């Protein structure tokens, strides 16, 4: 798989990244460690060399699973992890990074990201200057190679950039969730900041595998996702029906078509999770789907049937 520069850093990432929220198990159902390890390994063997995780995913469990899957290939992969909103004081950032280094069985993290802005989830408000000071120190020490932020607005991204180089923004972004385009994308494009889109398949909705009457198991966080509710869900099903002929013409799945559209957007790369090895390989194949400018525009318009009706909430979940 081709690689792209991460921001202005020397790090090279794949346009499709392996997401490992599910590897932490918390807020997911039916996840088995052995299957997750196989999925991560298969993603790597299929060409995905960039793996995204976070300390909060199962309180370090996801990071440990990543290590079990790829420690023997450490020099050939890029690790991206995150510090949570409740650990943004200077010393807390340093300590969190050290825990992640231990969990990942490595002495450096390629990309270390602020997971949520200070104050999120009732966390203590910490000046961004203090958090960035810690991240800059970690970078000087060689414990991290690049700094990123996640779930930041354009204004928050611009403020953080005053205190150090930001090489990536990780927002929710997909064909069915495009709020970032009217906010931070212009700043990212102007400043060579890579966009690492999470929920790039709208939490599985863009796979087309969920019918109108689908019911999620108890404990599945998608029951709180606004895209899976009411008229939003009905509009999504209609849009998926219109996307199917385009996917068929490329001999690819709806998921691959959606990922291919996303990584063709300015500065955009797609984080895609997988429950098993088959899904991981399918995600990797999206990088080889080439869409014409007319097809990109057609897909764009189909997706807007969903996005034009969404409210102004910045996140997908009713938390």
Q: Dihedral of the CA atoms 150, 8, 76, 285 (nearest 10)?
A: 70
Is 27's pLDDT higher than 80?
no
Q: Is residue 296 part of a domain?
A: no
Nearest alpha-carbon partner for 5 in 271, 192, 270, 262:
192
Q: Any idea how long the chain is? A: 319
| The two three-digit tokens of residue 23, written as one number | 């590897």
What pLDDT does residue 217 have? 76
Per-residue pLDDT band for 108 (boundaries 50, 70, 90) equals: very high
By the 10 Å C-beta count (0-12 exposed, 13-18 middle, 19+ buried), 85 is classed as buried
Q: Is residue 51 part of a domain?
A: yes
What pLDDT does residue 262 have? 98
Q: Is residue 302 part of a domain?
A: no
Q: What is the pLDDT of residues 126-143, one digit of tens each?
A: 999 999 999 999 999 999
By the 10 Å C-beta count (0-12 exposed, 13-18 middle, 19+ buried), 136 is classed as middle
pLDDT > 70 fraction of the chain, expressed in percent and rounded: 99
Q: 82: which strand partners?
A: 113
H helices, E strands: number in the chain: 10, 10
Q: What is the pLDDT of residues 232-249, one digit of tens each?
A: 999 999 999 999 999 999
121: domain range? 4-204+253-290
Q: What is the pTM of this model?
A: 0.95
Higher-pLDDT residue of 319, 316: 316
CA distance 220 to 26: 9
Q: Which residues contact 219 (CB under 8 A, 6 or more apart)?
A: 27, 29
CATH number of 20's domain: 3.20.20.100
Q: 256: which strand partners?
A: none
What pLDDT does residue 26 have? 82
CA distance 21 to 116: 15
Is 293's pLDDT higher than 90?
yes
Q: Is residue 162 part of a domain?
A: yes
29-40 average pLDDT score? 90
For helices 254-263 and 277-285, the axis angle rounded to 10 degrees is 50
Q: Is residue 271 part of a domain?
A: yes
What pLDDT does residue 287 have? 97
Q: Is residue 134 part of a domain?
A: yes
Q: Which residues contact 203 (CB under 8 A, 6 or more apart)?
A: 222, 225, 227, 228, 316
Q: What is the pLDDT of residues 198-234, one digit of tens each?
A: 999 998 999 999 877 777 777 776 878 899 999 999 9
Q: What is the pLDDT of residues 53-80, one digit of tens each?
A: 999 999 999 999 999 999 999 999 999 9
What pLDDT does residue 117 have? 97
What pLDDT does residue 245 have? 98
Q: What is the pLDDT of residues 36-47, one digit of tens each?
A: 999 999 999 999
Integer CA distances (angstroms), 76 to 19, 48, 50, 126, 190, in order: 17, 10, 9, 35, 30
Per-residue pLDDT band for 87 (boundaries 50, 70, 90) equals: very high
CA distance 148 to 81: 9
Nearest alpha-carbon partner for 123 in 164, 97, 85:
85
Gyration radius of the chain over CA positions: 18
The number of domains in the chain is 1
Residues with catalytic roles: 57
Neighbouring C-alpha atoms within 13 Å toward the C-beta of 175: 31
**158-196 as b/e: b if 16+ CB within 10 A:** ebbbebbbbbbbbbbbbbbbbbbeebbbebbeebebbbb
Higher-pLDDT residue of 108, 24: 108
């Amino acid at each position: 798989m081709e690689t792209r520069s991460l921001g202005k850093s020397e790090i090279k990432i794949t346009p499709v990244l392996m997401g490992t929220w599910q590897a932490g198990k918390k807020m997911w159902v039916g996840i088995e460690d052995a299957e997750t390890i196989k999925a991560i390994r298969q993603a790597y063997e299929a060409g995905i060399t960039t793996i995204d995780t976070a300390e909060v995913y199962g309180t370090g469990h996801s990071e440990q699973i990543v290590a079990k899957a790829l420690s023997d290939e450490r020099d050939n992969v890029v690790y991206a992890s995150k510090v949570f909103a409740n650990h943004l004081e200077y010393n807390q950032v340093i300590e969190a990074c050290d825990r992640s280094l231990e969990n990942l069985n490595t002495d450096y993290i390629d990309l270390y990201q602020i997971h949520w802005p200070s104050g999120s989830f009732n966390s203590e408000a910490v000046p961004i200057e203090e958090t960035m000071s810690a991240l800059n120190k970690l970078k000087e020490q060689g414990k991290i190679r690049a700094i990123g932020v996640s779930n930041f607005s354009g204004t928050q991204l611009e403020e953080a950039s005053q205190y150090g180089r930001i090489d990536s923004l990780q927002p929710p972004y997909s064909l069915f969730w495009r709020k970032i385009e009217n906010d931070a994308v212009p700043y990212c494009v102007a400043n060579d900041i890579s966009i690492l889109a999470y929920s790039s398949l709208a939490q599985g909705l863009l796979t087309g595998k969920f019918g109108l009457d689908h019911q999620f198991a108890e404990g599945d966080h998608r029951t709180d996702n606004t895209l899976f509710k009411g008229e939003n869900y009905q509009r999504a099903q209609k849009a998926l029906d219109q996307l199917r002929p385009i996917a068929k013409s490329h001999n690819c799945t709806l998921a691959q078509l959606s990922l291919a559209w996303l990584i063709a957007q300015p500065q955009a790369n797609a984080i895609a999770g997988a429950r098993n090895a088959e899904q991981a390989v399918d995600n990797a194949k999206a990088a080889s789907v080439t869409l014409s400018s007319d097809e990109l525009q057609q897909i764009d318009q189909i997706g807007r049937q969903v996005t034009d009706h969404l409210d102004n909430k910045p996140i997908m979940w009713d938390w």
